Amino acid sequence: MRIFKAVAVVGITATLFACQATQSQQNISNQQTDKPKNVIMVVADGMGPAYITAYRNYRDNPNTETVEPVVFDDILVGTATTYPASVSGYVTDSAASATALAAGIKTYNGAIGVDVNKQPVRTVLHQARLNGMKTGIAVTSQIVHATPAAYVAANESRENYNQLADSYYDDRINEDFILDVMLGGGQRFFERSDRNITGEFIDAGYQYVDTYNQLATLTEPTRVLGLFAPVAVPWALDDSRANRLEYMTRHAIKHLENANGFFLLVEASLVDWAGHANDISSAMAEMHDLALTIQLLRDYVRDNPDTLVVLTADHSTGGLSIAADGEYRWSPEFLHSMQLSVPTMVEALPATDDWVGLVEQGFGFKLSEAEQDLVLSIDTSSSSWEQQGILNDIIDARTNTGWTTSGHTGEDVGVFSFGQGAERFSGAQDNTAIATKLFDLLGTQVRGEQNQKHGASSVKQEEVSDEGANTCSFKDSWRC
């Protein structure tokens, strides 16, 4: 078992001039008064600056002369760089960037809560737990995906989903679980042939739910494990609750509120997945769920002003452009009629002879003859990725949306903040500075010790069994 102890160091410089000492005391006083009781960190995975602009245009009322602002606009306070440790170049993956946001250190792409030497690091969520705060996560991916895992666990590779799920149960802070509330997807990683972690959490006193409606039945604050899908939850366009991130966030807060405060990580995970797929319709639907979540949090901070909310992206995805091919046009009105996600339409093709009718129903508009020919040209023996590409090309042509890549891009991202201590996050900064500022707000005192059974330096890559909880190939699928 690897044991981590943090040490608080207080330095006093006795040689300062009196005026400098007075100013220093004033700064310390100001910093002490802006420390929040509750911290809510929101990561919009893959949400580069173009996504904010696209969402604003998507929500615009075309009957007015101006483009109306959206919930993000008046809380923008700064920017953040996103590059990983130099060994991984200039373009980050979600694991390295989440570790930077969570722990304030640069690391290599693929690293979960470890430094470049594969040694575990303390995160702001760990610090909150050490301070006696309740902690939770609410995400739309599997809860052991790169971003949430980097705040909670330590592993040399983001691919080791089974080991990460084990860590959620096995790792301890002050001899207690690291998380009080866990909401998202990931059943297959917690209910495996070799271990039933869900059952272990139930035996430890957690309430387990696997539907959104069941979550609503937990009316009294309690510890909760909510896993609503085998991997990620369905796309917002397909889910029984299009506002599922807002819904999970609301219920997470209900179960976390207490006299000592709480730390909640929220991730709009599937913005990134839509970007990888170059799927503008799902990207805007996921952004709308995020916007509803931020509005919920703004209302919460209005009623609970001792709460801090920080929103940023870990990187941008897809190289989204609002217009393409030299044409000065973007037409988001076609996105408002979408009834199904593109992946769901592709999955349904083999079950029907009326492909054009299926796609028209999913798109919510009639196809031109040229578009019908594209649909009929789909080869269902080809990869799902290729089939989705044909349908996404139709939407991109209609809206005049452009993409440069199916991967990540390296530009700076926006930083948004409101609530107590929000002013600390203004200006241009590195993504590691966000964690540094949160550590400062949380304080560096330690009330106990952090024990992690799965130290990253001893972790081995998992074999993929036939039943394979970890069936992802990172060479073939960005969903990993």
| Model pLDDT, residue 450 | 56
Residues 6+ apart with CB under 8 A from 260: 131, 132, 133, 134
Q: Provide the mean pLDDT of the chain.
A: 89
Q: What is the dihedral of CA 297, 301, 307, 313, to 10 degrees?
A: 30
Model confidence pLDDT, tens digit, residues 22-76: 444 444 444 557 899 999 999 999 999 999 999 999 999 999 999 999 999 999 9
Active-site residue flag, 24: no
The domain at 36-321+405-455 falls in which architecture?
A: 3-Layer(aba) Sandwich (3.40)
Distance CA 479, CA 206 (A): 29
Return residue ranges of the chain for CATH 1.10.60.40.
Answer: 331-399
| Model pLDDT, residue 457 | 33
User: Of these residues, 94, 269, 282, 417, which one is catalytic?
Assistant: 94
Residues 6+ apart with CB under 8 A from 160: 112, 459, 461, 462, 470
Cα separation values, 471 from 96, 151, 190, 380, Å: 22, 23, 14, 22
Predicted model pTM: 0.89
| Model pLDDT, residue 15 | 30
| pLDDT tens-place values along the chain, 480 residues long | 333 333 332 232 233 223 333 444 444 444 557 899 999 999 999 999 999 999 999 999 999 999 999 999 999 999 999 999 999 999 999 999 999 999 999 999 999 999 999 999 999 999 999 999 999 999 999 999 999 999 999 999 999 999 999 999 999 999 999 999 999 999 999 999 999 999 999 999 999 999 999 999 999 999 999 999 999 999 999 999 999 999 999 999 999 999 999 999 999 999 999 999 999 999 999 999 999 999 999 999 999 999 999 999 999 999 999 999 999 999 999 999 999 999 999 999 999 999 999 999 999 999 999 999 999 999 999 999 999 999 999 999 999 999 999 999 999 999 999 999 999 999 999 999 999 999 999 986 444 455 554 333 333 333 333 333 344 444 445 444
At residue 230, the 3 state secondary structure works out as coil
In this structure, are residues 387 and 349 in contact, taking their beta carbons and an 8 Å threshold? Answer: yes
Residue pointed to by tokens 């707000």: 441
Write the class of the CATH domain 331-399.
mainly alpha
Distance CA 11, CA 357 (A): 71
Return residue ranges of the chain for CATH 3.40.720.10.
Answer: 36-321+405-455
Residue pointed to by tokens 């349908």: 391
**Phi, psi (rounded to 5 degrees) for 20:** -65, -40
Spatial strand order of the sheet with 2-4 comes to 2-4, 450-452, 172-173, 176-177
